[in-house]
Structure 1
């Protein structure tokens, strides 16, 4: 059974909203937005992303090592066998990591849609201030920049510094693959930080759009 928290539903349609007053609606809105923000850029999400990137890097390290060994198979038969084993082990770590990251990105899209829908219900400056998290966004952005810059450097420096006859194609692929994983991880993190900041500016701090019906249905006595 997965321990991942389930996503809240979108706001109910106007016709069936049953909040007794605006304060009740704002309280529910703040509770759900707080949970969604934590699911999107909470510190735990950063740790999960880095963990999956580490799993992918470990898998590619095994794959790259296997490629190097396979290239040496002509001179050493046992290196070829070990290389194929490394390739299988690496694929066993790399493929699940790629799938998990894909699921992570798909879930992020759902979370962002819910953030927009719940945020658009109304404006609550006091409670919304707690959702901006500028420090957390900055941490995401800085770590993402370091990862992306380091990965890009590996992708460029690795092939450029390879010496024909000394460095094998497998070694170059190993370095470039690790750099690509770091770059993609940094890119994902930077996009998350940027989309959160854009949501704050476009939804939380922007004036509420005029609506034809109130976000809550007053109770009738």
Structure 2
């Protein structure tokens, strides 16, 4: 528990909404202990949110391409034909780390409905914040991110950097002009039932650079198990990213 003691002093709002991106690999921290500590700091009226993404449910994501990289074409076709559909209640999120999967399977957790970029939440505002995630909107106005912005949520990067700060994606949707659109593919409804939809061509390649320019006065940080834990407001992150993208993506 000593490794988690610093979380109580970061400034997490009691009764607030907290979005956590995390990596517990290389530590002795158990995901259940971290979950419980965060819920304790938030208090009974607080809500804990994690990304529960499933990039494996795709034909173009890095996660999917790595799976099929050494397969001959025939095996790739067979593999895709047997791909199970996304099911919010049962589909795991292995690439999101131990804490995200722990929150997802906790009794009472609520998960949003997007087949590739869902979120999971625990707490009194979970259902409200996860509702209405449109299957053709990854991380824009019809996703939990927009409601988390309205809820004045905080973001905790627990032993990870700004490169995985999902909030920055909402800034892409709010950019003028927005990024171009592209097709995405996923399985929904039945095994091997691949569908295609369009959404923004999301790009996280400059998120580390955007995070590096985040005003230091808007951050609090502490050491947790040998790496930084950084806390900041989601609204501030989105607004900063939107301004910065206008400058660096010309």
Place the TM-score, normalised by the shorter chain, in its bin.
under 0.3
Larger Rg: 1
Structure holding more helix per residue: 1
Flag the structure with more relative contact order, 1 or 2, with Cα contacts below 8 A and sequence separation at least 6.
Answer: 1
Structure-1-length-normalised TM-score? 0.27
From the two aligned structures, give the one with the greater strand fraction. Answer: 2
